[in-house]
Amino acid sequence: MLNEQELYRVEQLPIFQNRMYDSAQEARSCPRGNVRLVQDLATGLVSNADFCPELMVYDARYQNEQAVSPQFRDHLGSVAKIVERTIGRSGLVEVGCGKGYFVEALSESGFDITGFDSAYEGSNPRIKRHHFEPGVGMTAQALILRHVLEHIQNPQQFLQGLRTANEGSGLIYIEVPCFDWICEHRAWFDIFYEHANYFRLADFGRMFDRVIESGRIFGGQYLYVVADLASLKPARADACDRVSFPDDFLGDLGDVEQPERSAVWGGASKGVIFTLLRERINRPIELVIDINPAKQGKYLPATGLKVLSPEEGLAMLPAGSTIYVMNSNYLQEIKQMSSNAYRYVCVDHD
């Protein structure tokens, strides 16, 4: 009897969609891997069965800081309010805090918070350059886990490790991409090799006996859950809650028009997959624009497209041309920065 159900597969994606390269040739030669999404029929969880964690070594060339966007900073402000309301302002630890923006923002707002990330490169004494694990010398009132769990091959084991490191107690705020949103919107550009797991809200009810609050945020694209670490349990599948994966998931890939001049706005994960799959069906994108200075002048993995600043990109794009907006959350921000002079296509709309 099969213990998994295959949902979707796509081959030869870049293993890091947010690692930037110094030349187009290097970018096109980036390491690649396959994605084979399956639902475990014992746990109900969805993962990439072809994921190889030993390939995932993050370094300084990995650039995924979204806080350069005012819209994303607004989102983080909303997250801070949820954190304050549900887990408080004291004794907080952010696990996998990346470049430390959220830790610093909360700290400046009066929160008592410490960050942990082995790849941290800054100098903030509140951020420890190692993992949160037994022996770190502190116990948190609550943990914050933002956009980490989807990168972990065995999420249940990882959460058990956090519970052990925190002496078996405390609350946890978890934020991950919403797999239901991906399915509902046929968001084929949101399936990445980097993401070992894809979660639904119901999954966290399978993993925790005590969920304090949960919901969707960021226009439905993310989900969050606040749970009691002490109530962590092995996930068990609900036979009535199988993933309903759309048969026409890639249906609109070939339908996307090919205007005379076009650009992608968003040189991050969605943009990397969008441009790659477009290239594979002979409808390549010419320009990529991103507001993150760390990406500008660098090259996207797989396609080798150069990332331009808004000033550079718009100077090469005649008014009235098409801009593919990779994330509709940023549409108004993009229209304002481009003087509303273009035709805007939000690729994540139904």
Is 310 inside a domain boundary?
Answer: yes
Residues 158 and 21 in one domain: yes
Of 222, 238, 254, the one marking the end of a domain is 238
Instruction: Please state the rounded mean pLDDT for residues 30-34.
Output: 94
Same domain, 49 and 173: yes
Express each pLDDT in 60-74 by its tens digit.
556 555 555 677 788
pTM of the entire structure? 0.89
Residue 243 lies in a domain: no
Total domains, the chain: 2
Could you tell me if residue 297 is inside a domain?
Answer: yes
Instruction: Please report whether residue 246 resides in a domain.
Output: no
Do 80 and 167 share a structural domain? yes
Across 42-56, 114-128, 247-261, the highest mean pLDDT is recorded for: 42-56
297, 338: one domain: yes
Measured in Å, how far apart are the chain's first and last C-alpha atoms?
36
Do 14 and 146 fall within a single domain? yes
- The bridge status of strand 142-146 relative to strand 92-95 is parallel
Domain shared by 287 and 187, yes or no: no
pLDDT at 259 over 80: no
Distances in Å between the Cα of 28 and the Cα atoms of 25, 193, 304 are 5, 16, 5
CB atoms within 10 A of CB 324: 24
Q: What is the CATH number of the domain that holds 326?
A: 3.40.50.720
In a domain? residue 247: no
Note whether 123 and 213 are same-domain residues: yes
**Between the CA of residue 151 and those of 18, 44, 196, 197, 223, what are the distances in Å?**
13, 18, 5, 7, 15
Q: Are 124 and 104 in contact (CB under 8 A)?
A: yes
- In 112-169, which residue ranges form alpha helices assigned H by DSSP? 155-165
- Least confident span in 17-26, 88-97, 176-185, 253-262: 253-262
Strand (E) positions, the chain? 4-14, 32-40, 46-48, 92-95, 113-116, 127-128, 142-146, 171-177, 197-198, 211-217, 222-228, 262-265, 287-289, 307-308, 322-325, 343-346
**Contact present, 285 and 262 (Cβ < 8 Å):** yes
Q: Are 78 and 117 members of one domain?
A: yes
Using DSSP, state whether 122 is helix, strand or coil: coil
| Amino acid, res. 53 | P
CATH of the domain at 97: 3.40.50.150
Instruction: With residue 184 as reference, give the H or E element that holds it.
Output: helix 179-184
The mean pLDDT of 297-302, rounded to a whole number, is 94
130 and 277 share one domain: no
83: left (phi over 0), alpha (psi -120 to 50) or beta: alpha
Considering the domain boundaries, does residue 68 fall inside one?
Answer: yes
Q: Which two tokens stand for residue 52?
A: 């190889």
Q: CA 159, CA 148: separation in Å to the nearest integer?
A: 11
**Contacts with 14 (C-beta within 8 Å, 6 or more apart), sequence order:** 30, 31, 32, 193, 272, 276, 301, 302
For residues 282 and 213, membership in a common domain is answered with: no
Please report the pLDDT score of residue 46 as a whole number.
Answer: 97
Do 229 and 267 fall within a single domain? no
For residue 281, what are the domain limits? 262-346
Tell me what pLDDT residue 350 has.
55
Report in angstroms the alpha-carbon separations of 168 from 106, 207, 229, 302. Answer: 25, 15, 7, 43
Q: Is residue 205 part of a domain?
A: yes
How open is the CA angle 135-141-143, to the nearest 5 degrees?
75
200 and 318, same domain (yes or no)? no
Which of residues 238, 271, 288 is at a domain's end?
A: 238
Asked, for residue 250, whether it belongs to a domain, the answer is: no
238, 270, 295 — which closes off a domain? 238
